[in-house]
Amino acid sequence: MQNYDMIEGNRGDHKVYFVDKTQLETKLKYLKQLTEDYETVKSNHYAFERVAQMLIESSVDIGNMIIDAFILRDPGNYKDVIDILELEGAISKETQHALHKTIDVRRQFVHYYDTLDIAQLIPLFDQTVPFYEQFIEEVLQFLENENVPVTAFGKGAQ
C-alpha cells in the first residue's frame, strides 16, 4: 500500500488531492540522474538506449502523477500527458515541443530495438536533454506554486 500525503491544492475550490510525495521525489531524482549521466553513457549503444528510453518513461510517469493529483483528466497517450502539463501551466510550450520529439521515437526503443539507428537518435537526445532538465525545474516550480513542498534536490519543506 502506498503512503499518500494529503495535500490541499489551491485550484478553485481547494479540493484535497492525494500525492505520494516520496514516489514523486524519487522519480524526479531518477530523471535528474538520467540527465546527468547522459553525456557519459551515450557512447555505449546499450546504455544510450536505456537512458534515452527512461528519460521518456520517467517524465511521463511524473506527468501522470501530477495529472492524477491536480488536474483530474485522463490522458489517452504519452503525448497527451505532456500536452495536459503544458495546458495547465506545469511546463512551457518549449519543453512540450522538445519532449514530443523524443516521444515520437519511443516506439523505436520499445518495438524496433533490434534495428535502432543510434547515430540518428543521439543528435535528437543531445538537443532535448536540456529540456528534460528544464522539465524538472518547471515541475518543481509548478508544485511549489500549488503549495506542494517537494524535497527533491534540497528544495521545499519537510
Q: What is the pTM of this model?
A: 0.85
Q: How much is the pLDDT for 118? A: 95
Q: How much is the pLDDT for 93? A: 99
Give me the half-sphere count of Cα atoms (radius 13 Å) on the Cβ side of residue 74. Answer: 0
pLDDT tens per residue across span 122-144: 999 999 999 999 999 999 999 98
Type of residue found at 1: M
CA torsion, ordered 17, 20, 21, 23, to nearest 10 deg: -150
Q: How much is the pLDDT for 157? A: 40
- Please tell me the distance from the alpha carbon of residue 140 to that of residue 150, in angstroms, as a whole number: 7
Neighbours of 141 (CB within 10 A): 14
Which domains, and CATH codes, for the chain?
5-148 (1.20.120.580)
pLDDT tens per residue across span 36-50: 999 999 999 999 999
Terminal Cα distance for the chain, rounded: 22
